[in-house]
Structure 1
Amino acid sequence: MQRRYLLVASARLVLVGAGAIAMTVQAQQPSYTVSAAQLQQAVAQRFPLRYPVPGLLDLDVQAPRLHLLPAQNRLAADMAVEAAGPALRRSHSGSIRVDFALRYEASDRTVRAVQLHFQNLQFPSLQPAVVELLNTYGPALAEQALQEVVLHQLSPQDLALPDTMGLQPGSITVTDKGLVIALVNKPL
């Protein structure tokens, strides 16, 4: 009798343990991670960029320094900017800061910058009137520099296993270490 009781109790413990493991596995959503270093490397390949303001000046934008903003689920970018041209007597150094959200583009398996928010454009050595003029162009400059810029591209190998399991990239979450791209069920 005691043997039977111990056998049944052991079987129950095994089943409860297996159920807890299954619940833990189910609770963890599969995902793909992109490190902050990978993001920085990918965006740096698309810079420097030059934006002429015809007859006035040229703005040269250097590669942004990316900052993770997990609390807002966004990224920020600080870019060094050089302004020179006929409207200025010499070259001036400044900076531009923006933040943006992210989206996944399935057609080319890329993570892209969207919902760009211009924060500021600073040129300490310029007269306030010139800085005001540049701030007029700041949002357009920021949008041209970063809107829809590719921050990461997943390879076909990255998606091979998820694809066979019926999964595809879904929501993107910004963490302290990089991005976590949830892998969700494909629509039927």
Structure 2
Amino acid sequence: MKRRQWLMSLPMTLVLAAAAAHAQPSYTVTSAQLQQAVAEKFPMRYPVGGLLALTLQAPRLRLLPEQNRLGTQMVVDAAGPALSRSTTGNFDVDFALRYEPSDQSIRAHQLKVNTLSLSGMPPGPAALLQAYGPALAGQALLEVVLHKLRPQDLMLADGLGMEPGAITVTARGLVIGLVPKKAL
């Protein structure tokens, strides 16, 4: 009887082993790791036409797996000669991710500005901010390194002749697929 059960379970075992053999190897970066790495790069300060300066505070990241993107919302502080007083607002963007092999980093790209609003700003500076806001967003986040892979993170993959490939946003973080290295 036990032999029969074993024989009946053998096809399922072979199917599972075959599936595991064809699974793409990957490296995972958790949402907590991402948040910590990004927070270390802020606050960031950007002058706008000598009239005001924007300071972007550390962002709160959102995983957007259905779009394979990350979103972020930041508090923006504005001050300068064009303003009678400092003001605060919100800045919301989302972006795709890319791997940069030169420094083994994961970076933001394909930035999309969703909202940029500052409360109590006079009309002149508000128009200036609306005009330059998307460009400032691009400067602030386009080349932000979200995470750097350490040499030990890639040691096994490198030994197997593999390198990071596609980045997939999941509900838990990022899954970086490993693909065969390109021949030079």
Do these two structures clear the TM 0.5 threshold for a shared fold by scoring above it?
Answer: yes
Q: Match of 2:113, as an amino acid?
A: F
Name the stretch that deviates more: 74-83 or 118-127.
118-127
Give the aligned partner of residue 91 of structure 2: 96
Distance 1:11 1:178, change over 3 A: closer
**Distance apart, 1:120 and its partner CA:** 1.6
Q: Is the counterpart of residue 175 in structure 1 residue 175 in structure 2?
A: no
Structure 2: state its 5+ residue gaps: none
Tell me the CA shift for residue 83 of structure 1: 0.7
1:119 deviates by 1.5
Deviation, 1:14, is 7.8
CA radius of gyration, larger in: 1
Equivalent AA in structure 1 for residue 80 of structure 2? G
Could you tell me how far 1:79 is from its partner in structure 2?
1.1
Q: Which residue of structure 2 aligns with residue 39 of structure 1? A: 34
What CA RMSD, in Å, does the superposition of the two structures yield over aligned residues? 2.1
Tell me how far 1:95 sits from its aligned partner.
1.2
| TM-score w.r.t. length of structure 2 | 0.90
Measure how far apart 1:35 and its partner are. 0.6
State the distance in 2 between where 1:154 and 1:49 align.
23
Identity among equivalent pairs (%): 56
- Counterparts of residues 4-23 of structure 1 (less than 5 Å): 16-17=11-12, 19-23=14-18
The structural deviation recorded for 1:11 is: 9.5
> Which of 90, 114, 121 in structure 2 is aligned with 1:119?
114
How far does the alpha carbon of each residue in 1:143-164 deviate from its partner, in whole angstroms, 9 at most, with x for none?
1110021001111111111111
Number of aligned residue pairs: 182
Q: Identify which of 96, 103, 122 aligns with 1:108.
A: 103
1:42-121 equivalences under 5 Å are: 42-121=37-116
Q: Is the 8 A contact 1:120 1:138 kept in 2?
A: no
Q: Partners in 2 of 1:81 and 1:21 — Cα distance?
A: 51
Structure 1 residues 118 and 182: alpha-carbon distance in aligned structure 2, compared to 1, 3 A threshold: same
Whether the 8 Å CA contact 2:107–2:144 is kept in 1: the answer is yes
1:26 deviates by: 2.5
TM-score, normalized by length of structure 1?
A: 0.88
